[in-house]
Amino acid sequence: MSAFTSVPLELWALVMDELNYRQLVTASRVCQQWRAVAFDHPSFWHDIHIAIHGPDPPALYWLTRRLDAGQHRPFMLSIDIDDKDVASVPDEVYSLLRTSISTVERLSINIAATSFERLWGALEVTAPLLSVFSLLARAAPLQPRSPIPPTIFDGNAPVLRTVRLPIVIEPTIGPSILAFARVEHVQIADTQKLTASFVVGFFTMFPEAKHFDVHCQRAGLWPISYDESTLAAIRERVLALQSLELCFQFDRRYDMQEFCKHFPVDHIRRLLLRRPTPEDVEMALSHLKCPPYDVIISGVDTGSEYLSSKPFTISFASAASRGTSYRLQRIFLDSDSGYLGRGAHGSGWRGRVNRVFHDMSIWEQVRSLTITTSIWPMLAMWQPIPLHVSELCVVFSLPSQLVKLSEFGYATGEALQVLSLRNYGTGISDVDVADVLVFAERSSSHHRLRLRVHSSIELSGDTGPLSQYFDLETYDGDSSSWTSFDEAGTE
């Protein structure tokens, strides 16, 4: 080690320029000299993750010592504190937030709801670069709702567009929160099975929201304390949304009835109902003037009049995909006997999925299939495969080199019109053009297909030959546009 420590700091600084973030962190732990050089490198502070799961967080001292001195600022800051092991959030965390928010672009905080009161004070700082804000709450039994103060981010977050809040937040009715004035995508999430339920007042907190997702275990949707003028304002906001995704279980049947009675739901793109009665499903879907993007229903007989008369989407994800957001974990449960359940685990889920694919009565009305590659090993077991699916969406939840898209080509029929490729999570997946070509050659379709490539997918290789089989559509999540294969291959 002495040979390395004797390297001049100027030369070692040049070496540091070739290291990625994780390598810089490793180098900083070798010796005091390396630590000094690593601390002076801007990349060291670009992406900071603080996870405290014990009473003595030594790494926190490293971070705050330099950040508080004003020498560097993070662009991505993630704080995760487990209150089971930590008596209280260390003061250094609040200090770090106050000194870093001015340069942070993405901020993620996961702490106990009991610490929110002190957290609000640390967030009363202007956030000119913040574009994504995520706040999660660790479970706290009988924890009262915590309102967000209007002074959050000092009312100044001009580029904030995405906000994720826990279910225990108290919706603000009345004076607006200026920092949320331009937010477009909102997610109200319950990841810890908190005792609170979703309240429709959340819709009014974000005056410019275009997309609203609600993921929670319970849905006591109807607070009788709202007067008619407040309900009218909520209805107006719901009407202005471009998409509404609901994923919850109703505590009482009349909640679902009241929600559909008083709120416009004909533009819902995704609807997930957990353990509803068949009557609830019929009532909810009857309010949809056109089929939603996805209808995902748990524990309902597919023999119902609605499902037997209209095409719908069926989606699968394995138990190995649990722990991700529900959007990436869409599971269709289609009979009272339960072919596939969220609780399925181990080897049991495979047999239950296989039964679904053997029961052809389920597939008579299915036109769109979304499937994650985490259950790719079962492809050989799925016989017969439905040949009348017109849209196939493949979600790469495993590295693309571990799965072959071409393996699914033999299963498609003449009805296939659209092949959609997207990635699992927020990363980027490389898909080999040669594999897509083999898929097209094996497909039974005799007409040109539309290949929808989401922004999280990169096509590697010469895309020219694909033009023999596909028209290409690139998709960024909100809108789509046509482009050439040459342009797609260089993006």
Report pLDDT digits (tens) over 246-298: 666 555 555 556 666 666 665 565 555 555 555 555 555 555 554 443 444 44
Q: Is the per-residue pLDDT at 454 higher than 50?
A: yes
pLDDT at position 481 is: 34
Is residue 167 within 8 A of residue 143, CB to CB? The reply is: no
pLDDT at position 129 is: 92
The residue whose two tokens read 């009675």 is 261
pLDDT cut 70: percent of the chain above it? 48
220 pLDDT tier (thresholds 50, 70, 90): low
Report pLDDT digits (tens) over 121-140: 999 999 999 999 999 887 65
Pairing of strands 169-170, 185-189: unpaired
The CATH class, in words, for 1-43 is mainly alpha
Is residue 376 within 8 A of residue 405, CB to CB? The reply is: no
Pairing of strands 185-189, 480-482: unpaired
Specify the pTM.
Answer: 0.57
pLDDT cut 90: percent of the chain above it? 7
Select from 312, 317, 287 the least CA-distant residue to 300.
Answer: 312
Asked if the 311-491 domain carries CATH number 3.80.10, the reply is yes
Task: Give the domain ranges of the chain.
Answer: 1-43, 311-491
pLDDT at position 183 is: 93
Q: What is the mean pLDDT of the chain?
A: 67
Q: Which helix (H) or strand (E) holds 9?
A: helix 9-16
- Alpha carbons within 13 A on the beta-carbon side of 258: 14
Instruction: Give the mean model confidence (pLDDT) for residues 477-491.
Output: 33
**Contacts of range 476-480, beta carbons closer than 8 Å, 24 or more positions apart:** 478/210, 478/211, 478/242, 480/452
Q: What is the DSSP string of 37-76?
A: HHHTSGGGGTEEEEEE-SS--HHHHHHHHHHTTTS---SE
The three-class DSSP label of residue 190 is coil
Q: Is the per-residue pLDDT at 318 higher than 70?
A: no
Report pLDDT digits (tens) over 83-97: 555 556 777 788 888
Structure tokens at 215: 């993921």
163 pLDDT tier (thresholds 50, 70, 90): very high
